[in-house]
Chain A
Amino acid sequence: MTIKTRIVGAGIALALALSAAGCGGSGEEQVYFLNFKPEVAEVYDKIVAAYEEETGVKVKVVTAASGTYEQTLSSEIAKRNPPTIFQINGPVGYGSWSDYTADMKDSDFYAALSDKSLAVTSGDGVYGVPYVVEGYGIIYNKAIMDKYFAMPNKAAAANSIDDINSFAHLKAVVEDMQAKKADLGINGVFSATSLSPGEDWRWQTHLANVPFSYEFTANGTDVSGTPAEVTFQYGDNMQQLFDLYLNNSTTEKGQLGSKTVDDSMSEFALGQSAMVQNGNWGWNQVAGVQGNTVQAENVGFLPLYMGMAGEETQGICIGTENYFSINAKVSPELQQQSLDFLYWLFSSEKGKQFVTEDLKFIAPFTTFTDADQPNDPLAQSVSAWMNKPGVTSVSWDAMKIFPSQQWKDGFGANLLSYAQGSMEWSAVSEDAVTSWKAQAEAAG
Chain B
Amino acid sequence: MRVSKYISKWFPLFALPTLAAFILAFVIPFGMGLYLSFTKFQTVDNAQWVGLQNYVLAFTENSDFINALWFTVRFTVVSVVSVNICAYGLALLLTQALKGTNVFRAIFFLPNLIGGIVLGYVWQLLINGVLQKIASQDLTYNSAYGFWGLVIVVNWQMIGYMMIIYIAAIQNVPGEVQEAAGIDGASFFSKLIHVTIPMTASAVTICTFLTLANCLKLFDQNLALTGGAPQNQTEGLALNIFRTYYNIRNHQGVGQAKAVVFFVFVATIAFFQLRFTRSKEVDG
Q: Which residue of B lies closest to A443 (CB)?
A: B249
13 residue pairs A–B, Cβ–Cβ below 8 Å: A12-B17, A96-B42, A195-B140, A197-B228, A252-B136, A257-B139, A409-B247, A413-B231, A413-B232, A422-B141, A438-B62, A443-B249, A443-B250
Bound Cα distance A436, B275 (Å): 46
Shortest beta-carbon contacts, A-B, top 6: A197-B227, A257-B140, A405-B247, A443-B249, A78-B43, A254-B136
Q: Does A288 contact B (CB under 8 A)?
A: no
Q: Which of A12, A75, A413 contacts B230 (CB 8 A)?
A: A413
Determine the chain B residues whose CB is within 8 A of the CB of A12 once the complex forms: 13, 16-17
Given contacts A12-B16, A257-B139, contact A417 B230 (CB under 8 A): yes
Determine the chain B residues whose CB is within 8 A of the CB of A8 once the complex forms: 13
Q: Does A77 contact B (CB under 8 A)?
A: yes
Q: Which of A16, A70, A100 contacts B20 (CB 8 A)?
A: A16
The smallest C-beta distance from A107 to any residue of chain B, in angstroms, reads 24
Determine the chain B residues whose CB is within 8 A of the CB of A95 once the complex forms: 249-250
The smallest C-beta distance from A72 to any residue of chain B, in angstroms, reads 11
Residues B243 and A406 in contact, CB atoms below 8 Å apart: yes
Residues A404 and B43 in contact, CB atoms below 8 Å apart: no
The smallest C-beta distance from A269 to any residue of chain B, in angstroms, reads 21
Residues A71 and B246 in contact, CB atoms below 8 Å apart: yes
Q: Which residues of A contact B (CB under 8 A)?
A: 5, 8-9, 12, 15-16, 70-71, 74-75, 77-78, 92, 95-97, 99-100, 195-198, 252, 254-255, 257-258, 403-406, 409-410, 413-414, 416-417, 420, 422, 438-439, 442-444
Bound Cα distance A395, B78 (Å): 50
Q: Which residues of B contact A (CB under 8 A)?
A: 13, 16-17, 20, 42-46, 57, 61-62, 124, 128, 132, 136-141, 226-232, 243, 246-252
Interface of A is mostly: helix
Determine the chain A residues whose CB is within 8 A of the CB of B45 once the complex forms: 78
The winner among B124, B139, B227, B229 for most chain A CB atoms within 10 A is B229
Residues A416 and B43 in contact, CB atoms below 8 Å apart: no
Residues A254 and B138 in contact, CB atoms below 8 Å apart: yes
Q: Which of B17, B139, B226, B231 contacts A417 (CB 8 A)?
A: B231
The smallest C-beta distance from A349 to any residue of chain B, in angstroms, reads 38
Determine the chain A residues whose CB is within 8 A of the CB of B128 once the complex forms: 258
Residues A404 and B248 in contact, CB atoms below 8 Å apart: yes
Determine the chain B residues whose CB is within 8 A of the CB of A195 once the complex forms: 140
